[in-house]
Structure formats: structure tokens, C-alpha cells
Structure 1
Amino acid sequence: MSKHHIECPCGSHKPLAECCKPIHLNHASATHPEQLMRARYSAHVLGLVDFVVQTYHSSCEAEHHREAIAESINLTWLGLEVMNSEIAANGQGFVEFKAGYKEAGEEYILQERSRFVQESINGQQYWFYIDGEYPQPPPSEQPSAPKPVTATKTIGRNDPCLCGSGKKSKKCCG
């Protein structure tokens, strides 16, 4: 792609200007939770702390955790793979994804099933990230199964939440 058509970091293979940038400029542009999740990932890559903070649900009190969120944004993000996304019958949105990142020279994969809720504000509908679940790795059926290239960082319920809020995982996204 040319200099004027930068590919969106979210992995859509679309130009940034036609993918996540409109959502970064107007959060209500995300009409599906997957769009917001992709825009949040792109915001991490692009260093858009304000966007990430603003797209947390108000119950997360993300503004109080701005510094920790900024630290998570400053990681080296390596790529995004969306495995599943849906809007459930109760209106909540779910997006399961894997995001690779590098911290202190080590590569990790964050796998999460994120939950999103939609709220009407001044007549416009907005999706907000509220929390997520970290799936347990499946039991290995074969002891000699090939190992993934990157390690999976397992987050315990008492570990700091990966979203950067500074809260324990069980009290935040876990």
C-alpha cells in the first residue's frame, strides 16, 4: 500500500482511513462489537490512550487507570486474530480474539472473549468494552503435540488485569 493508504493495524487488510480511523474519530461509528474491538486494538498499536479509555464502560472507571492503560498501550503489539464475534440474544456483544505482543523481549499471546454492551447517549448508540474471560488452554491430547511459536501468558485471578486498569484480574476483566 502507498504511503497515503496505510493498512489498518487490526488485520482487516483495509486502509486505516476506511477501517478503524472513522471509529477513532467517532466512537458511535462502530455498529458491531467486533468493529469496536478492532478499533481498540488499532488504538493500542497507534498509541491512542484517550480512545481506549473512552471506550471502556463507565463501570470500569478507566479514567482512574489511565497510566496503567497507557503502559499496556506502550507494549509492542504484533497482530490480531478475531476468532469469533456475535451479538447475543440479550443484546450483549462478544468477541473472541488473540493478540500477540512483546514485553521485555518475550512474545506472548493474549486470548480473550471480550464482552461489550451498547448504550444510547444523546440519541446515538455506542458499544463499550466491559470485561472479558480468558479461556483455559485445552488439555493436550498428545504429549508430543507441536508447541506454538509464541508463549501464552496465563493470567491468574489475583494477577494484575492485562487491560492495564491496575485492578486484579478477578475484579476487572477476569
Structure 2
Amino acid sequence: MMSVCPCGLPQPYQVCCEPIHLNHAKATKPEQLMRARYAAHVLGLVDFVVDTYHPSCDAESQREGIAQSIDSHWIKLDVLKAESGSHADEGFVTFSAYFEEDSTEYCMTEKSRFVRESGLWYYIDGTFPEQEPEKLEIDPRLSEPVSSLKIGRNDPCLCGSGKKYKKCCG
């Protein structure tokens, strides 16, 4: 019997992530490796997860912690975005992974960075988008020469405080 792959794609495991679990080189895109790594968490494949960290991460020395992370009740995966990096051998995948602990469901969202070396994709690191600082919107008037600025007393202040110019820097 063919079961649906734990990575969330509507394909049998035997044609989706299992070939990658058996041969790392079958992951030809960062998203494929990320999905296979998630499926490996669900299936308890510690060796696969350790082996698909970039060699610079020295994942072997962290095997115990990785095994503890894998030993969770993983519920589902949502891939939010897959994008190219700054060169052909870099890619990013943003995803949310859901797991249950003590009858409570949690969600971990990460933007993972993958690099390709010697033809193989590896997970190298990630950031947590909800913790990234918000990008501030730059007032377009700041790119104009000061002499040409016409700032009214009731215009929003250039400093970005959200106050009127007259109540702030005016």
C-alpha cells in the first residue's frame, strides 16, 4: 500500500521523498530537500537530517539535540515560499511546520537557507521571519534636496514619528 508523503504533497511517499531519503542527490531543488527533511522528522530518520546539514554546521556533534527535535509529534507542513538566492547555488524556503506537545499544537515558521556544493543541496541555516525586524517605510521626501522641501505644518514629520511636523521637528 502506498501512503501519502508526510511532506504535504499529494503523492505517495515512495515516489516523493523516499527516493531523496535513499539518495540525497535526488533533491534537485532546495524545496525538495526541505520537504524531505521535514518528512525525515516525521519518520524519525535522524541520519538523513544530520547528513543534509551543510558540512560547515558540524551536525554530527549536535546529533543528540537533532534527534530530540525529530522526536516530536509532527502534524503538517506548509511551504509558504521558495525563492532563489544571490547565486545559482543558493536558495531559500519559507515554511511553517506544525507539531503537538502536551496536547497543544505549535507552529514553527522559518526561512531556511540552502546551498549547493559538489552537486548536492544542503541546509545551512535559517531565520525566523516573525522575529525579523520590520522594514521601515522611508519617506520619499528624504531623497529630495532640503532646499526644495516644502513641509506644511500639518504634514507628517520627516522623522517618521507619525506626528504632525508642527508637533514634532517643526
The TM-score with structure 2 as length reference comes to: 0.74
2:24 pairs with one of 23, 27, 36: 27
Give yes or no for the alignment of 1:8 onto 2:5.
Answer: yes
Structural RMSD (CA): 1.6
Counterparts of 1:1-174 in structure 2, within 5 Å, are 4-91=1-88, 92-120=90-118, 125-136=119-130
Where in structure 1 do 4 or more consecutive aligned residues deviate above 6 Å?
Answer: none
What number of residue pairs does the alignment pair up?
Answer: 132
Residue 87 of structure 1: how far off its partner (Å): 2.1
Q: Distance in 2 between matches of 1:133 and 1:97?
A: 11
Percent sequence identity over aligned pairs:
56
> With CA pairs under 8 Å and 6+ residues apart, which has the higher RCO, 1 or 2?
1
Q: Distance in 2 between matches of 1:27 and 1:72?
A: 21
Would you tell me which structure has more helix in proportion to its own residues?
A: 2
Residue 103 of structure 1: how far off its partner (Å): 2.0
Q: Distance in 2 between matches of 1:47 and 1:137?
A: 28
Query: What 5-or-longer segments of structure 2 have no aligned partner?
Result: 133-170
Q: Deviations over 1:41-87 (max 9, x none)?
A: 00000000000000000111100011110101010001000011022
Q: Distance in 2 between matches of 1:131 and 1:90?
A: 16
